[in-house]
Amino acid sequence: MTESQTLDPNAGLLESPFMVEMVRQLRALDTYGYYESKSPAELLDALVLTKERKEAIPIVGDPDPATLARIQAFYNAIAMQIEAECGLMATPLVHLSSEGFGRVLITVGKLVVHDRPLRDAHRFGFASLSKMKDEADKILSVALELIGNHSKVAGL
């Protein structure tokens, strides 16, 4: 174990392709350069909702622009992982009402590879970075299986 991994238990996790892409997506959505001085761990920390953080967020609320950007970055990163794995363009579509309800779709060609309703978007986050990566890996594996089973539709 390296010294940096001793200091940061997420160091190895932050080097995974998904987490690298998440950081890239978060930085890409930062049009004013606010995140330039932040480390990858600091950027991703906003997606971690510990029990205490979640309790501090009201049950009913409207998502703020930063939360909407994090949702978009998460699904953009998954779409980029799909593209890297299968070589076909994946397109994420996040549609939310001002109250934080909506749906996310990821399509490859004419094939819908991920379809999920979103509720309470103002509380979007994960218990830990590893839980976020696990969720992304599940979505990715299902999407790749669908693409493999329906390659003609995905290629349209």
Check whether 47 has a pLDDT greater than 50: yes
Query: Helical H runs in 46-150?
Result: 51-56, 65-86, 129-149
pLDDT of residue 27: 92
Check whether 112 has a pLDDT greater than 90: yes
Quick check: is 86 in a domain?
A: yes
Task: Find the CATH number of the domain harbouring 86.
Answer: 1.10.3100.20
Quick check: is 4 in a domain?
A: no
Structural domain count, the chain? 1
pTM: 0.88
Check whether 60 has a pLDDT greater than 70: yes
Residue 64: domain span: 9-154
pLDDT digits (tens, 9 = 90+) for 123-136: 899 999 999 999 99
Quick check: is 2 in a domain?
A: no
Q: Which residue has the higher pLDDT, 100 or 115?
A: 115
Among candidate residues 18, 15, 20, the one with its CA nearest the CA of residue 4: 15
Bridge partners of 103, per DSSP, are 95, 117
> What are the strands, taking DSSP E only, across 5-122?
90-96, 102-108, 111-118
Quick check: is 3 in a domain?
A: no
Q: Once rounded to an integer, what is the mean pLDDT over residues 106-128?
A: 93
Please count the other Cβ atoms lying within 10 Å of the Cβ belonging to residue 50: 12
Q: Which residue has the higher pLDDT, 133 or 5?
A: 133
